[in-house]
Each structure stands twice: as structure tokens, then as C-alpha cells.
Structure 1
Amino acid sequence: MGNQKKYLPLWIGLALAAGVFIGSKLNFNDTTEKIFATNSKKDKLNRLIDYIDYEYVDNVNTDSIVDVTVNGILENLDPHSVYIPKSEYAHNADDMRGAFTGIGVSFYVYNDTIAVIRPIEGGPAERAGIRGGDRILYADGKKLYGQLVERDSITNYLKGDINSKVELQVYRPSEKKILDVKVKRKQVPLVSVDASYKITNDLGYIKVNRFSETTYKEFESALEKLKDQGIKKLVLDLRNNPGGYISTAERVVDEFLEDDKLVLITKNKSGDINKTFATGRGDFEHGKLYVLINENSASASEIVAGALQDNDKGTIIGRRSFGKGLVQREMALGDGSAIRLTIARYYTPTGRSIQRPYGKGNENYYSDYEKRYRNGELIHADSIKVADSLKYKTPKGKVVYGGGGIIPDVFVPKDTSIENETLQYVSRSGFMSYFIFEYLEKNRKIFKGMSFEDFKNTYTVDDKLSKEFIEYSKFNEAQIDLSNYTEELKKTLKANLAQQLYGPNEYEIILNDGDPMLLKVLELEAENHLDN
């Protein structure tokens, strides 16, 4: 049990750290001349760096000093004003843009070699014939295996300019032969809609993992396909969604709200107020809606949930959301690095702010999850502390609260057992995926030609495989013991198999079987059917 407990803070930390950025399309009226005017404060910092550069007794990397200084300044503002070093900027930009230029494979560095987990569906690598299990040995003659090759270097050789070609040498273990494959690099999407499928004949499900530039198009396409399949009701899953661009969140909300309904209010330092309203383009204004949120749903996710709740559209199900009501704008610093600086606050249509207090410092702010855990609000709805002064009413008279996240209409408690927390961690972190990849290396032929429907309905993870994973976990560095959680473990192993064999959509389908929040949706649906 002691070894399991050490993973709980890590899982919590990974979840909470994600919710720190929300894109901004707000007007920023200050001129460059005004913002960057010379003054004594800037002169003082510049002079200090120059003194260290030219006069300090030892050689010092002043770039690192500047990084520390920038971080120190931002930490004294608010928890969501952050610095992005040059080394991390490209990755962050790709993530928010929702695409990158490359060959389109997910891979592990397995035994010092690039092992393809699976090519991205429709991507350049798949079209060129690369398969799951292939090893990429060379790219344009550059060796990509061996202990000295770093992951970042590998990525750099596989990425490149759009329409540029890369010649790969690939080893295929299943056929024991080396292949020469030429791949033309293309824009490869970083998918933000993890899953889209029908739960029942008229109830659809869409899971959104963030709000990037491409999310709305992905969401619109998924919704259209589900409507073509006959759905009249939708579950929008925003659990563990850390946020993203305001404009993307607004467009998603617009799909559900009638014309001229208020979506969002923002207010900047000068007191300028900007209001966003729904337009006439909504395609699901009359459909029934359920929105799933939890303690890791943040920023843009909360904009969506708050706008729908305040307009009496749909039912919000789950647990109180993260509580981020600040708006950031990204600003370049001239050397390839950037900051995301808080420039405004946002308010839901009833006028409530859902930003949690942050005056006691960042450490206290991000430890709020632990306080919620200890106070019991993840298990009992009546443990959620609300102030009457932060009470608001929707047009239909429903009471809603500001002051720290979106409180759901229907509460679903969290399974707080150590085993379940650990199982979620190993499934989402990649630890289990590595084990599954090793299993498929030896057993891929078992699944050859098997459709996902057959896999879902007929394949069962046996005791042998679950015991192998338990032993793998015990003797691996992780040292996790899941021996008392066999059935959930088998389902999670099956979901990870589905992910590597079929894709992320199929992973979610398997994992969602028996999910408490989805069971609550079905329970509400049954009650509504009886009432009608």
C-alpha cells in the first residue's frame, strides 16, 4: 500500500498542472510604444544583467538567470501567468495549433530503437505502408537507434517542412525483413476529440481533451456524423480537459444555444467589458444535452459548462470543476521564448466569476485539490462550501454559485480508493501502454483480421495476462500492486490493447463501459422516459 500511495500525488499533480492556459482573442489596445517605453525599472534589470555578464568573478550563464528572473516575476502575479522557454515553445505551439508537420506515427524508444505503436490514421506513414511494430532504423541515412540517440533528436529528423520527403529504413519483425520507405511529410493533426460514438440508438457521446485551433472542426465533424446516425441527445465529456482557446470554447457553446443568448463576459484592467453572444449557426439547439465535468476540468471547459448551465441548457453532471476564470494572452519575448500573461477576467452569463482565490501563493493554490479531498467534497455533494454572497439565478430560476469552479447540477462521487487512483495513473501515463506493446510484440498475430466489434464483444483479458501485468508492475521501478483490483485491471488492459490495435476512440469505448457518470446519464434517461 505504501508504494501505491506515492503515485497518488503524482497523478493529482499531472491532472492539476494541465489547467493553466486559456487563449485570448480579446482586443489589446495598448500600443507597443506605451508597453515598451524606457523606464528606470527596466534599466535597473538590464544594468544588473550587464554587470553580471562583464564584471562577475565567475563565468555565468545569464540566460538561465533571466529565465529565473522572469519566472520569479510571474509567480508574484497569479498562478496562470507563465513563462515558456525557447526549448518548450515549439511543442506548446503545436499543441495549441492542433497539428504539426511530420510523418504521423506514435512510437516508443524500445530497446534503444524507434518502435512504431501505430501510424496515425490517414497520415503519411500509414499511406506509405508503415505498420504497428515496425522499427525505424534510419531517416535520410541518419542512424536513429542506439543508446546515444535522444528522443528530441529523433523527433527532429521525422518532422520537417510540409511536402518534404524523408527516406526511411524500416525493419519489420513480423516478416524479418528491412524495407526502404519514402514518406512525404504532411500536416498531422493532434487530435483533441478523443472519442465519438453512439451509446444508445438516440444518445451520442463526444469526448474533448482540450480546446485547440482545430477542436471546433473536429467537434463539428463528430457531431454531424452522430446526427446522421440518428442521435437526438448528446453527452459532452469535458472531464480532465485543461482548457485552451476562448474562441474555440465559444464556437462549441454556439452549437447548443439559440441566437443572441449570452455566452461569455470578459473584463480587462481598464474596466472594458466584452460580451459574446450565440449566433444562428447552432446545429444542436433543440437536442438534449449532458455535460460531464470533474475537478480537473478547467478554463475553456468551464466556459462551456458555465455558459450552458447559466442558459438552462442541458444537465451538468459530475464534480466541481477546477475554478479558473482568468484570461491569458501569449506574448513573444524576442528570443524564441514567450509568456502567457493574464490580461482579463471572465464571467459566466449570470455574471459569476468561477476563479478560485490565489492570494496565498501558487503552492497553496495548486494544493486546493488536496483540501477538497480532505474536506470530503469529492465524495459528498453537501461538503462543497459555497457562500450565499456568491449566489446567482439562471433565467429559469435555478440557483448557481461563483467563487471557485462550476458546481454540477447532478453530483457523482469520485472513487477515491488508492487502487483506482493508481490504475487511472498507469493507464493514462503510458506505463501500461509499454507493457501492452511488449505483449503485442509476441502476440500481434492473435488479433490479425479481428474487427473492433469482434474484439469488444468476444475478446476477454484472461487471468494470465492480468497476473503478468501485476508481476511486471511489482518488479518494474513503479512497484505497484494491483492484485486486489482484478476486474478493473482487466478492463483497463483491454482498453490499452484497443488503443494500440484500433485507436483512441476504441480505447474510450472500452474504458467507458460501466463508467459511473455515464451510468448516471442512463439513469436520468430512464427516469425521464418513465416521467414521459
Structure 2
Amino acid sequence: MKKKINIYLPLLIALAIIGGIYLGNHLNSQAPRLGLPSLTAPKSNKLSMIIDLISNAYVDSVATGELVEEAIPTILKKLDPHSTYIPARDMQEVNEEMQGNFGGIGVQFTIYNDTVQVVDVISGGPSQKLGIQPGDRIVAVNDSLIAGNGVKNETVMNLLRGEKGTRVNVDIKRKGINDLIAYEITRGDIPIISVDVDYMINDSTGYVKVSRFAEKTYTEFMKAMTNVDALGAQQVIIDLRGNPGGYLMAVVKMVNEFLDEGDLIVYTEGHSQARKTYTATGKASWADKRIFVLIDEYSASASEIFTGALQDNDKGIIVGRRSFGKGLVQEQIPFTDGSALRLTVARYYTPSGRCIQKPYDEGTEEYYHDLMNRAVHGELEEADSIQFSDTLRYETKGGRIVYGGGGIMPDYFVPLDTTGYSDYYSKITQKALVYHFAFDYTDSHRAELEQLKTPQEIVNHLKGENVMDQFISYAATKGVKRSESGLSVSGKIIETQLMAYIARNAIGDEGFYPIIQQIDKTLRKAIELSGENQTLSQLLAVTK
């Protein structure tokens, strides 16, 4: 019996295999009749196959397009924190941000007490040409009431923005006039400004604030540098705090204005991307200036390229706190439906070889909690709390030691200033009372403020009007009672902020920044360094 089994077992196995092949082929041959795709689809098409199966065989009707839209971000989350999907509905806003302009009516507004209030009117824009003024209330847009109904910023922007040359009807309520004023506004190109302000801090020191890197940033930056140069600036403080980055070529062209010919600016490299190097051409329009760069934990991407290039080439003094650590290169791939994929394809490296990107191997959620973790670990207050690995040790062109591992560490660390914080100040801040009072005060005193042309004139005027006492009374009506102990600790901060915001409402950022610098510890440190009678090399030698 055992012998027979040994003889027939191979035959039985063979028959089973043949039967299995036949059955499989038979089932596959039936698949098209059931509306199913072939079950032998290659592995690389598994996602497409699942969508086809749901579309053709699922028990209920399903909008598979919506499934795809929801699935793509989930897939990208498994890659890195900056690979992202941009739906078609968001592409216009994304492109506007990078191109540096959008179609609109040319006003800056705020929503206060459910009312859309014009804060400023862009010079030369459609609204200014028609006579719309700061302080005007926008009541309706194209017959849609937008006052008193919990209107949101996004709603107002969607109503006011639009293609250049299109028209929009706006009803305005103005103080002193009983009836609404109706305007028909033809939308125009409204610039998104990258360089907020440039001015002279003193006779020899210029200040330039760059808030983003867009297509037109280089042109704006060169104009700002030319302005302070003409006023005698021997050194310039370039403020990149809070700058999230943006357009690579903008920052490359800007850095090129400070470096010697052949100096490395930045290079990129990835698994499927060959190394690409950007070097200085020798244009160096501002090579004769001492440069101080301000950064903080919100300075990212292109801001870090700018900072790293100057630091590694020993061409600038970096002041502030460690930058964000975003050093991944995204390539934008458009789809036919108007959406796009921004896929990370490489990493940025500074001239010394440092990778700007901080680790993200613990997941996206932990990655974005990094700034909170820095605060908990004391990094925002003490430079010594930051631990660096010797395996990530690099040298600048002049031999100074710098470290990689994520972000740019400044040459001169300035801790987060909390010395003026009190419970009184905290309550005022939580309710945004300084901002609201400043708007109300400006709105009520616009005629007299318009006669004042400089920040110092505004400060002198406001002190004469005892604006601080007015604010303390105003805060009390909003539930924050006067606190002598709180005022002794925070009074200077509150008063300076009040004057700075009123000045901004009256004459723009040219009024805000020169006033707020009085309580800006990081800027004050840069001003102190710039005032020392030392060369850039001598100042850098301290950090060697």
C-alpha cells in the first residue's frame, strides 16, 4: 500500500497543480464579464486596481475621485513633513504667494466686532485711486452683506480678490457720512510685498526686513539696499525672523550680492537627484558692507540658505536663536485637473556641507512639536542647553566650528526675552487689547495723526496725549483691571507696543519698526555689535 502511494503521489500533485492553473485561468476569464479588472495586474498598479475595483464592483455608487483626493495626503504623510498635495482649489493662492502678486482691490483690512474695517490702502492700487480711505467699513460686496454676521477673513478675501480687469461692487460706511458710499472697483494687480521696510537705525546702520522669498523679492531687496546705501549705511541688519522661506532663485541672487566669485552658496542632492551646485558670480554689489542677519526658530528654508551661506563663507554675523531646520527641496508636478504634487526630491546643504534639515524620523506630529520641545528643554533661553554631536561638526571658510543636525545656530545667541511678562500683560495679550485700542484710537484721531510724518513725531504726540493712561482705562472696561505691579514690570512693553501699532496704522511699517526696536532684544544686540569699532573678522573671531 505504501509503495502504491509513493508511485501515485507525484501524479496526484501534478493533477492538483494543473487543476489549480485551469481554475485560476477560468476565474480570470470570467472577470471581464463581472466588470472586474484582470486579477493579474502588476503590483505597481495596485492602487489603480483598487480604485477600479471600487468603481466597477463595489456594492454602492462611490465618488472615487473624492477617495483619491483623501488618499493622496495620507500616502504623503508616510514620506516627509514637506511633501504635500495641493488641490486645484488652492493652486491660485499658492501661485500668487510665489509670484508676488494677486488680483484684488488693494486694501488691507481687519475684522473687529463683526465689521470689516480698512486698515490701509495700497498706494497706487484701485481703491486708492477711487478715494477709499483707512478707517472705512466694508458693509457689502456685490450685494452680499458682510457686516454683523460672523464674517471670516477667508470669505472677505474670496469676495474681494479676482482676476485683473474684473469688477466688484463695494458698499462703504464712512464716519461722518450717513449714507453708504457705493464703489464699482476694477480689480488690478496687487503686489505681495516681501521687503516690509528699510530705514536707517543711526547714521551708519541700515535695517532691512525681509518677510518671504518670492519671485520679486530680489528686486525689492536690491532697492532697499540701495536706499540705505544712499543714506550712508556702512553696515546693514537684515531681519529674517519669522521668514518661512520660498523661492530658491530669489535667495541665490541675493546671497550672490555679498560673496566673492566662486564662493559656494548652496548645493542640493537626493537619492534620484544628482548634486546641483550654486556658486557666486562675483557681482558682490554689497561686499563692502558689514552684514548682520537676525534669525529665530521660525526662520526656515530659503532664510536658512541665506544665513548658512553668509555664515559658512564668514561674510556675516548671525544673531538670534537656532532656525527652524527646513532643508528639503520640493519639486512641483502639475496634474491635468489643476492640482499639483510637491514632492521632496533632494536636501539643501550649506557651503561647509551641513544639512539644514532637522530629523523627521519620529513622524510628522513630533516634527512639528519640535519648537515646543525646544521651549520645554530651555533652548529658547540658554544656548548651552543645545547639544551638538561631534559627528556633525563642520568648519567655515575661515576655520570656525559650526554644527549640522538641523537649522542654523547663530554666532551670537539672544534668548527669548520674558523679563517684561506679567499676569497683567498676559491678560491684555490674550484679549488682543493693544491691537484693538490702537485701531480705535487711530480711527478716532486720524485727522491729527495724518499731520505727523515720522515715528518720533507720533511718539511725542502720543505721550503728550497720555495715551498709556487712556489704554489702562480702556483695558479696565474690557475686564482687565489696573495692576500697579503688572505695570511696573510690563509698562514699557505695553506703551511701546501701543505707540508702534498706532504709528503703523497712521503711516505704515515705516512707523512701526523704528518704534518697536526699543523693546526688541535681538535687534538691540545686533545694533550693539554693529556699533563696536571692529571688523567683521574681529567680531567673528570671538565665536571661533
From 326, 330, 351, the equivalent of 1:328 is 330
**Aligned residue for 1:178?**
180
Is this contact kept in 2: 1:195–1:506, CA < 8 A? no
From 461, 471, 492, the equivalent of 1:465 is 471
Which fold has the larger relative contact order, with Cα–Cα distance below 8 Å and residues 6 or more apart in sequence? 1
Is this contact kept in 2: 1:194–1:208, CA < 8 A? yes
Name the stretch that deviates more: 458-467 or 441-450: 441-450
Measure the CA separation in 2 of the matches of 1:145 and 1:52: 46
From 506, 510, 513, the equivalent of 2:515 is 510
From 165, 168, 171, the equivalent of 1:169 is 171
1:71-150 paired onto structure 2 within 5 Å: 71-139=73-141, 143-145=145-147, 147=149
Give the secondary-structure state (helix, strand or coil) at the position aligned to 2:398: coil
1:393-432 paired onto structure 2 within 5 Å: 393-416=395-418, 419=421, 432=434
Name the stretch that deviates more: 510-519 or 111-120: 111-120
1:515-530 paired onto structure 2 within 5 Å: 515-528=520-533
Measure the CA separation in 1 of the matches of 2:311 and 2:387: 19
From 236, 239, 244, the equivalent of 1:237 is 239
From 210, 213, 216, the equivalent of 2:215 is 213
Specify every segment of 5 or more residues in structure 1 that has no aligned partner in the other structure, as ranges: 1-38, 476-480
Give the secondary-structure state (helix, strand or coil) at the position aligned to 1:235: strand
Amino acid at match of 1:500: N
State the Cα distance separating 1:497 from its structure 2 match.
Answer: 1.7
From 307, 312, 315, the equivalent of 2:314 is 312
**Aligned residue for 2:299?**
297
Amino acid at match of 1:456: V
Measure the CA separation in 2 of the matches of 1:486 and 1:58: 65
State the Cα distance separating 1:143 from its structure 2 match.
Answer: 4.7
Name the stretch that deviates more: 48-57 or 404-413: 48-57
State the Cα distance separating 1:310 from its structure 2 match.
Answer: 0.7
From 217, 224, 227, the equivalent of 1:225 is 227
Amino acid at match of 1:465: F
Give the secondary-structure state (helix, strand or coil) at the position aligned to 2:519: coil
Q: Deviations over 1:434-469 (max 9, x none)?
A: 453344444444524232341034323312314424
Give the secondary-structure state (helix, strand or coil) at the position aligned to 1:485: helix
Name the stretch that deviates more: 75-84 or 269-278: 269-278
**Aligned residue for 1:272?**
274
Give the secondary-structure state (helix, strand or coil) at the position aligned to 1:196: strand
Instruction: Describe the shift of the 1:54–1:209 C-alpha distance in structure 2 as closer, same or farther (beyond 3 A).
Output: same
Highest Rg: 1 or 2?
2
State the Cα distance separating 1:229 from its structure 2 match.
Answer: 1.2
Measure the CA separation in 1 of the matches of 2:190 and 2:162: 11
Is this contact kept in 2: 1:194–1:207, CA < 8 A? yes
Instruction: Describe the shift of the 1:329–1:432 C-alpha distance in structure 2 as closer, same or farther (beyond 3 A).
Output: farther
Is this contact kept in 1: 2:255–2:265, CA < 8 A? yes
Measure the CA separation in 2 of the matches of 1:351 and 1:54: 52
From 487, 493, 502, the equivalent of 2:498 is 493
Is this contact kept in 2: 1:171–1:178, CA < 8 A? yes
Is this contact kept in 1: 2:218–2:254, CA < 8 A? yes
**Aligned residue for 2:374?**
372
Is this contact kept in 2: 1:466–1:490, CA < 8 A? no
State the Cα distance separating 1:521 from its structure 2 match.
Answer: 1.9
**Aligned residue for 2:37?**
none
Q: Deviations over 1:335-373 (max 9, x none)?
A: 333222111111111112122111111122222223322
Q: Under a length normalisation based on structure 1, what TM-score does the superposition of the two structures give?
A: 0.83
Query: Does 1:286 pair with 2:292?
Result: no
Name the stretch that deviates more: 277-286 or 148-157: 148-157
State the Cα distance separating 1:141 from its structure 2 match.
Answer: 5.0
Q: Under a length normalisation based on structure 2, what TM-score does the superposition of the two structures give?
A: 0.81
Amino acid at match of 1:463: D
State the Cα distance separating 1:134 from its structure 2 match.
Answer: 1.3
